[in-house]
Chains A and B, each alone.
Chain A
Amino acid sequence: MLRYIGKRLLIAIPTLIIVSIFVFSLQKLLPGDPILVMAGEDRDPQVIEYLREKYRLNDPVVYQYFYWVSDVLRGDFGISLRTNQPVLTLIKQKLPVTIQLALMSMIFAFAIGIPAGILSAVKKGTLTDYIANIVALSGLSIPNFWLGIMLILFVSVRLRWLPASGYESPFVDPLRSFQTMLMPSFVLGTAISAALMRHTRSAMLGVLQADFIRTARAKGLSEWVVILKHTFRNALIPIVTLSALIFGELLAGAVLTEQIFTIPGFGKLIVDAVFNRDYAVVQGMVLCTAVGFILMNLVADMLYVLLNPRLRGQS
């Protein structure tokens, strides 16, 4: 197992290096000279030279990259041009909000996606399967920002049941926090539940054809014990590999969902940074997301080996 983890970590290193080169290169895509913008309208040559020295822009690009990487490794992602705060501090402030949104969305996604996937596989070829598939396809095709807008229109504007926007910390007012997060997490959870349903269905269908399921049925076990204890437990293994995909979906979905419901989280931070031309923040966030994604992939790989006894021996 340790050897396997070591091998996976070794493979992740070149990926991380390429990610860092990519994120560093982003600033080089910027049209025009950013120092001229920073120097203000006067464009005093002395100020320009000072800024060039300060940001080490007089050095060759390769040196600039290594300076940047060594800063990042020490936790210095740069300073936000807008708030003057370190980028890492900003990310740390906003991340808990998005984590709350993500956790609530996961509850919706699992509560809808997994039962629907199981039901669809067990009732394959029936009306239930057909309806579940249509719902899943619709979930994958509906733009979640539109779903959010429609929910605001009907639930908040027309029925006035839930607040249309805003955020409250669960440590300050738990009920208000739950109310403000209910619609956004449903919107985000819907898209993930559709993917989850499709994967659960296909994994369940694969296991249902296995010999040990026939044996379990032949032993006279009840159908639900066969489905939940024998089939679903084994179908869970390929579903685990989805965790990295879900992580990506949650972060990308959070960008739009937080924008619609005005939630001050990670997603809104990146959009605000884009419009304020706060490039250090954009770079820092892309790098954090990529590192998080690579780590999630590692965790998913390890869980896959841990859950599958046949792979445990090999690794």
Chain B
Amino acid sequence: MTLAATTTAPPAAKAARNESRAWRKLKSNKSALFGSVLVFFFVSIAVLAPVLPIQSPIATDWGAVRQAPSAAHWLGTDEIGRDLFSRMVWGAQASLLAGVVSVIITVIVGVPLGLISGYFGGWTDQLISRATDALLATPFLILAIALAAFLGPSLTNAMIAIALSAMPVFIRLTRGQVLAVKTEDYVEGARAIGLSHFRIIARYILPNVFPPILVQATLSIAIAIIAEASLSFLGLGQQPPAPSWGSMLNVAKNFLEQAPWMAMWPGAAIFLVVIGFNLLGDGLRDALDPREID
């Protein structure tokens, strides 16, 4: 491709070229691949939980209380004889659901707010920015705990609390990206030919601010999974008897001497799935970094 062709290429074509380079770069990153495998493994387990031939996660067996891992119970049983393997599998569903849904809520609400704030500027920007500062002023978990406390303890409310707590990061990130993009020639051009604000944002700004949002979303899923586990550990997330890795750890801490395996699996699973999303997010960041691509 000639230099002229490169410089006159529309932003969409350039973005498509960068996309394929980014994809190649991501595929050659071993850490990111390992992260993807971990994420895929846990997502598969969570999705397949209802069809897997496993015991009910809430069925109690008083004859098999706190049994160590065995052929009958691969990961052992808990304090009321429930099979830990099936609770781990169903717990994956709660953790991933909370992680993904809360980040989706954050993106759906936070990104448009960031777009409006950065694109229109003025009083709208001031108002949204100060509200973002106010939300950022409260540590993530304390804000989530306070919201979960006032909304009432449940997995849905935990997801809302996590989404609200994670939102300021997305608003600020999107706003910063929009400020950088909106002075580009192609946006000025779109404005000059009289396109509506909505079309300019949707057609020219959003696709160009999307890569860093995707990276942040991936890393935020990891943070949201830990936040959900923390809230459930404190009793403010998934309510018993429904399984969640956090609430399983909360119970397990009371039986460390008698049944240490109860505490090992949920924590290890949280660690692995979080490290998976972190590796994937880091890989995406490297692959989508414009300094590396251009």
Chains A and B come from one and the same complex: yes
Contact string against A for B residues 120-144, beta-carbon threshold 8 Å, 1 for contact and 0 otherwise: 0000000000110111011111110
- Taking a contact as CB atoms under 8 Å apart, the answer to whether A271 and B145 are in contact is yes
A65-73, A114-122, A134-142, A174-182 - the one binding chain B:
A134-142
**Contact among A30, A142, A248 for B150, CB-based, below 8 A:** A30
Within 8 A of A (CB), among B140-175: 140-143, 145-152
- Taking a contact as CB atoms under 8 Å apart, the answer to whether B270 and A274 are in contact is no
Docked complex Cα distance between A248 and B136 (Å): 10
Name the B residues within 8 Å of A275 (CB-CB). Answer: 235
> Shortest Cβ distance from B209 into chain A, in angstroms?
23
Docked complex Cα distance between A30 and B270 (Å): 31
Within 8 A of B (CB), among A245-295: 248-249, 251-253, 255-256, 259-260, 270-271, 273-275, 279, 282-283, 285-286, 289-291, 293-294
Total count of chain B residues near the partner, CB < 8 A: 45
B48-56, B199-207, B251-259 - the one binding chain A:
B251-259
Interface size class of A (residues with CB under 8 A): 35 or more
Docked complex Cα distance between A297 and B282 (Å): 27
Name the A residues within 8 Å of B270 (CB-CB). Answer: 143, 146
Docked complex Cα distance between A139 and B146 (Å): 26
> Shortest Cβ distance from B120 into chain A, in angstroms?
18
Contact string against B for A residues 21-35, beta-carbon threshold 8 Å, 1 for contact and 0 otherwise: 010001101110000
- Taking a contact as CB atoms under 8 Å apart, the answer to whether A149 and B130 are in contact is no
- Taking a contact as CB atoms under 8 Å apart, the answer to whether A150 and B267 are in contact is yes
Name the B residues within 8 Å of A26 (CB-CB). Answer: 146-147, 150
Docked complex Cα distance between A27 and B151 (Å): 10
- Taking a contact as CB atoms under 8 Å apart, the answer to whether B226 and A143 are in contact is yes
> Shortest Cβ distance from A125 into chain B, in angstroms?
14
Within 8 A of A (CB), among B233-250: 233-236, 249
Take A141-B222, A141-B278, A146-B271 as given contacts and tell me if A271 and B139 are in contact as well, using a CB distance cutoff of 8 Å: no
Which 4 residue pairs spanning A and B have beta carbons closest together? A146-B267, A18-B134, A252-B141, A248-B139
Q: What are 16 A-B pairs at a CB distance below 8 A?
A: A19-B137, A22-B135, A27-B150, A141-B274, A141-B275, A143-B229, A143-B249, A150-B263, A153-B256, A153-B263, A256-B234, A270-B146, A273-B149, A274-B146, A279-B150, A294-B137
